[in-house]
Amino acid sequence: MKTEARGERDKVLKWNGWGYADSYFKLDHEGDVVMMGDRYEACGHKMPYFRPWFEEHLGVDLDYMTPSQRIGDMEIPPPIENDEIHDELVRADIPFSNEPRMRLMRGHGHTVHDIINLRHGKFPRLPDLVVWPRTEQEVMKVIDLAMSTNCAIIPIGGGTSVSSALECPVTEQRAVISMDMALMDKIIWIDKENLTCRAQAGIIGQSLESQLNSKGFTCGHEPDSIEFSTLGGWVSTRASGMKKNKYGNIEDLVVHVNFATPKGMIHKQCQVPRISSGPDLHHVIMGSEGTLGVVTEVTIKIFPLPEVKRYGSLVFPDFNHGVEFFREVARQ
């Protein structure tokens, strides 16, 4: 089985939790919390007030250990084999795999329920095959193969879903293909005059923003999952971000979407933010969570980088005062 195209997910991310495998919290010999790794400014620093606050306010005893099961001990259901689609993927030279770890890492999102199942439970149904298309043509080829061989497709971007959209129905009898968009991760063009950018759907938010920043722009969309989630995932989940009051939600940023379906590729010839006549098909695509097709390319609005960035904090005596402050800011 071909497995050369795995993307970074399997190399650097935790298989049984959120985030990078080399970034985690640890108790030092004095019982203080230390963040391990070197990816973040907090890494290597002791947090002497973290544990007392955590235990006092959340009632959690950090001395009580509940180790995760090992991936080798996890019951991973065997795949439903479909030799016809295997043969066709080989002929089309489209990378694919049915290795257990590949299937496991693409068969769940990141809800608390998912993480508990990874650490202590099992998944009764997982994708049977993972494919990595590299172009829109290969996406359409996989869709056509799935139609002709009676397979189901679940697209996946960064795998940070919290809506259970990546779960395979336990009763599904067809072979389920996980279409991993990791290899479609390029910026296609940046239009500096019209302040738009087109990129492939598999580009990670952090990479998109870094590349735009290097050209003096920002996309303005910053969900908590920006390190791992993808542009296509933002569209499919109708995502919001912490800067939405300034730049808008994803539906405010989208100019155009290329959308692969069993009936063919859907795209508009007119590359403008809105048209006055008729319903906007983009609002059907956004939030569809892979049920109608696969997002392949997205054109979004971009913005000049702010000239100055300043960070600060305000401390309120209680929650209600904080809420009232934000309401007053909104009124002004």
Q: Which residues line the annotated binding site for FAD?
A: 155-161, 224-230, 237-240, 289-295
Query: At a CB cut-off of 8 Å and minimum separation 6, what does 284 contact?
Result: 292
Numbered residues of the known binding site:
155-161, 224-230, 237-240, 289-295
Cα(154)–Cα(107) distance, integer angstroms: 9
User: Measuring CA to CA, which residue among 279, 222, 213 is closest to residue 249?
Assistant: 222
Query: At a CB cut-off of 8 Å and minimum separation 6, what does 218 contact?
Result: 209, 212, 247, 302, 303, 304, 305, 306
Tokens standing for 138?
A: 């290969």
State the burial class of residue 29 (Cβ atoms within 10 Å of its Cβ: 0-12, 13-18, 19+).
exposed
- Phi and psi (nearest 5°) for 25? -95, 145
Cα(138)–Cα(104) distance, integer angstroms: 23
Check if the beta carbon of residue 213 is closer than 8 Å to that of residue 305: yes
Query: At a CB cut-off of 8 Å and minimum separation 6, what does 47 contact?
Result: 32, 33, 34, 35
